[in-house]
C-alpha cells in the first residue's frame, strides 16, 4: 500500500495573518508543496479564522491540482462552506476556541446521532469524510457504525511522550490501524509529526496517508519549503521499505 503525504499549510497563513497582509500566501505554498511531491493539501478553517480564511479555501479548490482535505468542526456553518466549495475530502475535528491546536480526537461514540446526519450530508455531496479520532477501538467502531469510510488517528500523544510511554502509544496506533483495516476503514494519521517521530508511524502498513503541517512549515525557515517536504517524503518512504 502506498503512503501519501498531505501537507497542512495552516501556518503559512498564521505568518501572513501576523501582519494582516497577503504574504506569505498559502496557495503559493500549496503549489510549491505539489512540486515537492506532496500528494494532497490540508487546511483547517477554524471558527475564529485564526489562520486559513474562507477566501483561501475558495482559491485552494479553484487553483490546486492536488486534492484538498478541509479540516473542519461539525458545525452548521462549516457544513455550508464545505457544500459550497466541494473539497475532495473533509476531516471532521473537535474544536475548542481556546485551544492552541486540536487537542484530542473527536468523541464519535458520544455524539453518534448528530454526526451521522452530518457525515451523510457531506458524503451525499461526494465529499470523502474522515473522522479525526484517538486510537481507540470504541471510536473506530462508532466511526464505522455511522458510515464513515476514512478515519485519521491522532498522533499527538505519541509525539509528546518519550521512552516506554511512547512505545505504548506506538503500539496503540498500530493496533488501531490494524483494527481499522479489519473494519474496512481507510486509515490516515497525523498531528505533531516531525523527522524523528514520522518513521515508526509511516512503517504501519495499513496507513495510507499522513497529514503533517507545523513541523514542515517551521523547518521551511531553515531548509526552504520544498526541501523540508522532500525530506519528509523520503523518510516516510524509507520507513515503508
CA angle 158, 147, 101 (to 5 degrees): 35
231, 223 contact by CB (below 8 A): yes
71 in active site: yes
Which among 11, 51, 188, 191 is annotated as catalytic?
Answer: 191
Q: Which is nearer to ligand PXP, 9 or 164 (CB)?
A: 9
Please give the grid coordinates belonging to residue 107: 468523541
Backbone phi, then psi, for 202, in 5-degree steps? -60, -25
How far apart are CB 32 and ligand PXP at their closest, in Å? 17
Which uninterrupted H or E stretch holds 7? strand 4-8
How far apart are CB 132 and ligand PXP at their closest, in Å? 4
Q: Is 158 in the site for ligand PXP (CB under 6 A)?
A: no
Backbone phi, then psi, for 90, in 5-degree steps? -130, 130
Q: Is 197 in the site for ligand PXP (CB under 6 A)?
A: no
Q: Which of 77, 151, 87, 153 is nearest to 118 (CA)?
A: 77
Q: Is 94 in the site for ligand PXP (CB under 6 A)?
A: no
How far apart are CB 91 and ligand PXP at their closest, in Å? 5
Q: Is 204 in the site for ligand PXP (CB under 6 A)?
A: no
Q: Which is nearer to ligand PXP, 100 or 241 (CB)?
A: 100
Q: List 131's β-bridge partners, or say none.
A: 92, 151
Q: What are the residue numbers of the active site? A: 44, 71, 191
Residues lying near ligand PXP in the complex (CB under 6 A) = 8, 10, 44, 71, 91, 93, 101-102, 132, 152, 190-193, 211-215
Amino acid at each position: 500500500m502506498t503512503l501519501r503525504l498531505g501537507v497542512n499549510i495552516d501556518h503559512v497563513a498564521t505568518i501572513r495573518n501576523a501582519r494582516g497582509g497577503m504574504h506569505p500566501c498559502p496557495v503559493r505554498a500549496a503549489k510549491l508543496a505539489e512540486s515537492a511531491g506532496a500528494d494532497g493539501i490540508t487546511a483547517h478553517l477554524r471558527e475564529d479564522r485564526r489562520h486559513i480564511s474562507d477566501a483561501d479555501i475558495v482559491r485552494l479548490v479553484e487553483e490546486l491540482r492536488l486534492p484538498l482535505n478541509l479540516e473542519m468542526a461539525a458545525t452548521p456553518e462549516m457544513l455550508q462552506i464545505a457544500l459550497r466549495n466541494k473539497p475532495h475530502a473533509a476531516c471532521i475535528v473537535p474544536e475548542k476556541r481556546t485551544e492552541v491546536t486540536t487537542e484530542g480526537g473527536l468523541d464519535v461514540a458520544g455524539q453518534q446521532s448528530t454526526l451521522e446526519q452530518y457525515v451523510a450530508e457531506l458524503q451525499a455531496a461526494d465529499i470523502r469524510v474522515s473522522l479525526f479520532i484517538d486510537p481507540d477501538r470504541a471510536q473506530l467502531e462508532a466511526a464505522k457504525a455511522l458510515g464513515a469510510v476514512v478515519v485519521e488517528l491522532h498522533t499527538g500523544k505519541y509525539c509528546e511522550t518519550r521512552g516506554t510511554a511512547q512505545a505504548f502509544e506506538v503500539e496503540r496506533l498500530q493496533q488501531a490501524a490494524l483494527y481499522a483495516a479489519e473494519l474496512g476503514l481507510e486509515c490516515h494519521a497525523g498531528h505533531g509529526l516531525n523527522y524523528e517521530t514520522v518513521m515508526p508511524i509511516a512503517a504501519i502498513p495499513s496507513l495510507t496517508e499522513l497529514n503533517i503541517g507545523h513541523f514542515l512549515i517551521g523547518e521551511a525557515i531553515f531548509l526552504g519549503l520544498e526541501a523540508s517536504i522532500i525530506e519528509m517524503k523520503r523518510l516516510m518512504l524509507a520507513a515503508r521499505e
